[in-house]
Each structure stands twice: as structure tokens, then as C-alpha cells.
Amino acid sequence: MSAATRTYRGSSLEEILPRIRAELGPDAVITRRREGLTGGLAGFFQKQFVEVEARAGVPRFEALDDSEALPDALKRSEVMGHRSEEQPPAPAIQKILEQAAPFADQLSSALERTSPAPGTAMAPLVAGNRAPGEAREIVEDLVEAGLHPVLAEGVVTETVSHVMPFSPHLSLERMVRETLAKRIPVQSTWTRRGRTIGFVGPGGSGKTLCTARLAATYAVGSDLPVIVLTLRPRDGGAELRSLLEPYAIGVHAVGGPDEARAIIAGAREHALIVIDTPTVSPSAPAEMDRLAADLERIGVYEVHLTLPATVGGHAADDVLNGYAPLGVSRIVLTHADETGHVGPAVGLAIRSGRPFSYISSGTSVDGGLLPVNPHALASIIVT
């Protein structure tokens, strides 16, 4: 019957070996070994452990040290003139020697695996050993940039646990940036040729400027015809007309959905239709309901909320929730040149699932509106 095995656990093999030797003797046999991580908080600050299963071994016979310890059969072979170096030991002795796997051999093998090369420092046994300190610092940086602590922790934890093993040569900051970028929702590609877009948002959010910028961009660079409408404008459409005059784009000021439908009839499938909406407040539910009904009646299926990048976390949630009755399907990040603190808006897009469509910066119509690149946006947060 084989000897029972015992399980030992410690931070390293060097820590465990003296205990095995003391309890099982110098000829102990290590039958199984595994390594892993334990403890920590939310995936961070875990400690490495080594777990070993061992059993007592069978002592070796040192023929040159003490002839009195040799088995009688071996002694007799020497008396009869047989030399052990010329003939193998008896089968029983051979089996004993093969099963011994002496403790010293295990220690030598372990030291050979873990010893650093001459002149070099001890290398970590796992790539993750370098992560915890850096990871905590990056979580704090993400929170400082405006991400919610839970989101920041989740992004870094995902990176350390599931991305870093495949890219150990990359910096942790770069990997976190890529992980965050993958989480940022952006507008998908379009299969239909025509589009009908309405911009909604609070006063001062850049709604009218975004309308002009998108119309001008398509008028200059696309093969689609462009139709611009402004719904119930307080200035009769004067501001929007002045912005688009250099591009020779006409502006239709309409008082209601029926008038708008008459203008765009037959153009939905082959034109870009951009609509600037009146400023309404979430605190005025009657006005909000009226605008929602107008957009539905016109057939605006892309409702883009203009959200200033300067808005804080709670305020960003309030803006989206306040304009949700209008059927907001996309977010335009405006005033992007006024702050690098875009974490609240990014967190809002991730939590709500509302993708970013465009990012708007500056005051000129030309070149101020671009499709959102999630990697560029993540680079603002993870520097």
C-alpha cells in the first residue's frame, strides 16, 4: 500500500520544502504541484500561492558510505566476486531506487526553475505580479477623469484578468485604454442611403450649430442632397440661415409636422434631412410632449441629444433622463474643446447604451463636427 499523501500550501516552494522535509523526511516524494492566486479585493492585490502534495519516500542505499547498511543479498554478491558497477542491482532493489525520487532532487529541480540568470533579478512567476500597484493607480486616474468608480474598477479588472495575459509586452495603460474604447458605444454603419436626423437638447448645448455643421459637411463632401428644416424657431430661422449661407444651403422654417412632411415628401430614401428643434425644458412636460409628437409625426427616427462635455456626472444623467421622452437614440458630445473631463459623458453612454454619433468642438461651421472615434475618446481619459 502506498504512503498517504499530504498537502502543503505556501507563498513559494522554498517556503514549503523545509516543512515537507521535517514531517516526511529527506526522501519525501512530491507527487503534485500547482500555482495560483488567492485573496485580494475585486481582482486586485491577490497573492501568489504554491500548493504541493507529497508523501514519504523510501530511503536510498549509499553503498560507498556504510557497508553495514547494505542488504545481505548485496553483501553476498560482493563476497562472491560480483561487482555492482558491472551488474545492475536485483529487481527488488531497482524498484526501490526508482520509487525513491529523493527530496534533494526535488529541491535541486525547484531551485533550477526559480533561480534567476547570473546578474539578473528574480523574474516574477506570473505576468500579473506587476499589475496590482499600477492597476490601483489607473483606477484612481479613471475616477479622477470622471468615470464612476464601479465602471473604472470594472475596466481595469477586465484588463488585468483577461487582456494582459495575451499582451504582456504592452503597457497596462495602453491595454486599459483599448478595453475602455471597446466599451464605448458608437453609432453603427448605415445600410440605408437616406437619413432623417433631428437634434434636440437644452439651450446653449450647440444644437443649432450641430445642425449647420452636419448639413455643411454633407453638402461639401457627400453625393446626397441635403434638406435643412428648423421647427418653430423663435428667430424665424435667422441664426441657422446665417451659418449655412456660405454653403448655399437653404433653410426651411416650419411651424409643424405637416408642413415638414410636405417639404421632405419623397426625399427620405435618397437625401440627408437635418432638423433643428426648438429648445424645450424637461420641467415643461406639455412642451416636451408636443415636441415628441411632432418628431414622431415627421418621422424622425434618429434623435441626437446634444450633450456638453462640460456637464458633470449627475447632471449628464439628468439631461438624458429629461429628454428621453423625445426618443433619444444617439448622443452628440459638444463643447469638446472646452474640457478634457469627458468621463461623465462616456460613463453615461456606457450605462445607458446610447451610442455616441458625433463630437463637436470650436465655433466655426467647417470641420467642427466629426464621427466619434472611441479610441480617441478613451485616449482623453487614459493618458
Residue found under cell 479622477: 144
Which H helix or E strand runs over 292? helix 285-298
What is the rounded CA–CA span in Å between residue 348 and residue 30?
54
Closest CA to 39 of 7, 8, 9: 9
Residue found under cell 525513491: 100
Segments in 121-277 forming alpha helices (H): 131-144, 149-158, 172-183, 207-221, 238-244, 257-264
Q: What is the pLDDT of residue 188?
A: 73
Q: What is the pLDDT of residue 38?
A: 63
**Whole-number Cα distances in Å, 238 to 232, 245, 253:** 12, 10, 9
The DSSP code for 178 is H
Amino acid sitting at position 39: G
Cα torsion through 99, 104, 105, 108, rounded to 10: 160
Per-residue pLDDT of the chain (383 residues), as tens digits, is: 445 788 888 877 777 888 888 788 777 777 777 776 665 544 455 567 778 888 876 554 443 344 444 444 434 434 333 444 445 555 554 544 454 445 445 544 544 444 444 444 433 434 445 555 789 999 999 999 889 999 999 999 999 999 988 988 899 999 999 999 999 999 877 767 899 999 999 999 999 999 999 999 999 999 999 999 999 999 999 999 999 999 999 999 999 999 999 999 999 999 999 999 999 999 999 999 999 999 999 999 899 999 999 988 788 999 999 999 999 999 999 999 988 789 999 999 999 999 999 999 999 999 899 999 999 999 999 98
Q: What is the pLDDT of residue 53?
A: 82
What size, in residues, is the chain? 383
Q: What is the pLDDT of residue 333?
A: 96
Q: What is the pLDDT of residue 67?
A: 42
Segments in 12-148 forming alpha helices (H): 13-24, 72-79, 91-100, 103-114, 131-144
Closest CA to 48 of 117, 128, 116: 128
φ and ψ at residue 72, rounded to 5 degrees: -60, -35
